[in-house]
Amino acid sequence: MRGIKPPVRVIRSGCSSRYGGTSHIISQSSHEDPGPPPPFWEALGEARLEPQPPAPPGAALCLLVSEIIVRAGLPVTSMCGRHIRYTDRRTTSGCFCAAPVINRFTRRASVCAEAYNPDEEDDDTETRVIHPKTDDQRNRLQEACKDILLFKSLDQEQMSQVLDAMFEKLVKCGEHIIDQGDDGDNFYVIDRGTYDIYVKIDGVGRCVGTYDNHGSFGELALMYNTPRAATIVATSVGAIWCLDRATFRRIIVKNNARKRRMYENFIESLPFLKSLELSERLKVVDVIGTKMYRDGEQIIAQGDGAESFFIVETGEVRIAMKSKSKQDAEVNEAVEIARCSRGQYFGELALVTNKPRAASAYAVGNVKCLVMDVQAFERLLGPCMEIMKRNIANYEEQLVALFGTNMDITDSNA
């Protein structure tokens, strides 16, 4: 009669591999030697598994196989990559059998202590964090933060709160800023210095990249409540700016969630985007940005190259054009041809025709626009292109009524 099987301890690490998915390590501990493993088919027979439905793909199948092995009493020491390794404690050799391929798009598990729901958390009771800074420090911080994508959607007040809450940390050569597997405490922006990025691959830390005097890191652990996915080590003396987890979540995460819901509803209400599928509209929400304009400020200039497409969220925009005809050459005053209000768009003409801007746009009062760059416009708004092209005929009719010609649109030099 065989002895009692030792207790099995299942450890699941939440760090995903560089190829996606989650690696799971299953270990077995015992104070007694269980002896040599039984034949594989006999062990499976002892498990008395009921007939199972078709196996799920990817990581779920890998976990199912591991459960069978554990229940069968096989001494499993590791499971990773594309193989499961069975080893005998009395030998130094092991045999390998092919395992199902882990789904590279499996969502990685979270092992952090607390969960965060930006829809439920109330930030009104949290104290605003302020770390005093000199003028030089604030200027350096603003310069370091100006190209960070996470901050692009923040308004001026929110950005000011972020800058107030960040604090400077001087680092030494060889200092570990974060370590893979640790819980996230801060978001980091590099002020100066060089930093290597290490990721454990098959248990060995390997350098996979370098930050050179600019960049940011540490946001994923805070946004998705997962352990650090890499180790960052300073390779020179330097300085970094740190934003604590509570402020990051209160401002960045909550703001992004709120704006996403708002933009989803706004985008769905736009008639010219009705031809897009739901998934396509959600992609528009992901790539769209916002920009504020003061009264009278020029948004686009006639004759400039086309870089962006605009949708008016709040306020009103005046569209004006200067005629290129000879009789108006001396006057050369811009004539108002249209106004755009909430939900209407402008700036698409140059993108559709691949020509310079045919008109200028000015803010009437304070204006807030949703902005999409030309690459995203061409990639996502293809189904809407016919609607926009039909509007060219309306523009030409307006130009004929105002100037007696439509040459400002058809002329590539306009």
Q: State whether 273 and 151 are in the same domain.
A: no
Q: State whether 18 and 60 are in the same domain.
A: yes
Q: What is the pLDDT of residue 295?
A: 94
Q: How confident is the model at residue 31 (pLDDT cuts 50, 70, 90)?
A: very low
Task: Indicate whether 106 belongs to any domain.
Answer: no
Task: Indicate whether 205 belongs to any domain.
Answer: yes
The answer to whether residues 329 and 315 touch, using CB atoms and an 8 Å cutoff, is no
CA torsion angle for 95, 99, 101, 105 (degrees, to 10)? -100
The answer to whether residues 188 and 233 touch, using CB atoms and an 8 Å cutoff, is no
Q: State whether 283 and 236 are in the same domain.
A: no
Q: 173: helix, coil or strand?
A: coil
Q: State whether 80 and 141 are in the same domain.
A: no
Q: State whether 177 and 245 are in the same domain.
A: yes
Q: State whether 285 and 382 are in the same domain.
A: yes
Task: Indicate whether 65 belongs to any domain.
Answer: yes
Residue 30 has pLDDT above 80, yes or no: no
The answer to whether residues 59 and 20 touch, using CB atoms and an 8 Å cutoff, is no
Identify the domain boundary among 208, 223, 252.
252
Q: State whether 55 and 85 are in the same domain.
A: yes
Domain that holds residue 28: 8-98
The residue among 106 and 388 whose pLDDT is bigger is: 388
pLDDT digit string, tens, across residues 52-105: 445 444 444 444 545 554 444 444 443 433 333 333 433 333 333 333 343 433
The CATH number linked to 278 is 2.60.120.10
Rounded to an integer, what distance in angstroms lies between the CA atom of residue 342 and that of residue 340? 7
Listing DSSP states for 59-106 in one string gives: HHHHHHHHHHHHHHT--EEEEETTEEEEE-TT-S-EEEEE-PPPPTTP
Task: Indicate whether 185 belongs to any domain.
Answer: yes
Q: State whether 248 and 162 are in the same domain.
A: yes
Task: Indicate whether 112 belongs to any domain.
Answer: no
Task: Indicate whether 144 belongs to any domain.
Answer: yes
Rounded to an integer, what distance in angstroms lies between the CA atom of residue 314 and that of residue 336? 20
The residue among 35 and 302 whose pLDDT is bigger is: 302
Q: What angle do CA 319, 322, 328 make, to 5 degrees?
A: 145
> Quick one: tokens of 249?
């979540």
Of 229, 226, 249, 231, which is closest to residue 111 (Cα–Cα)? 226
Q: State whether 335 and 378 are in the same domain.
A: yes
The answer to whether residues 281 and 267 touch, using CB atoms and an 8 Å cutoff, is yes
Of 406, 298, 304, which is closest to residue 355 (Cα–Cα)? 304
Identify the domain boundary among 182, 217, 252.
252
Q: Which residues contact 306 (CB under 8 A, 6 or more apart)?
A: 347, 350, 351, 354, 355, 356, 357, 374
Rounded to an integer, what distance in angstroms lies between the CA atom of residue 258 and that of residue 118? 8
Identify the domain boundary among 41, 69, 98.
98
pLDDT digit string, tens, across residues 284-303: 887 788 888 999 999 999 98
Q: How confident is the model at residue 351 (pLDDT cuts 50, 70, 90)?
A: confident
Task: Indicate whether 108 belongs to any domain.
Answer: no
Q: State whether 212 and 308 are in the same domain.
A: no
Split into its structural domains, the chain has a count of: 3
Q: State whether 173 and 41 are in the same domain.
A: no
Q: What is the pLDDT of residue 87?
A: 39
The residue among 269 and 247 whose pLDDT is bigger is: 247
pLDDT digit string, tens, across residues 161-205: 999 999 999 999 999 999 999 999 999 999 999 999 999 988 899
Q: State whether 231 and 297 are in the same domain.
A: no
pLDDT digit string, tens, across residues 203-241: 899 999 999 999 999 998 888 889 999 999 999 999 999
Task: Indicate whether 259 belongs to any domain.
Answer: no
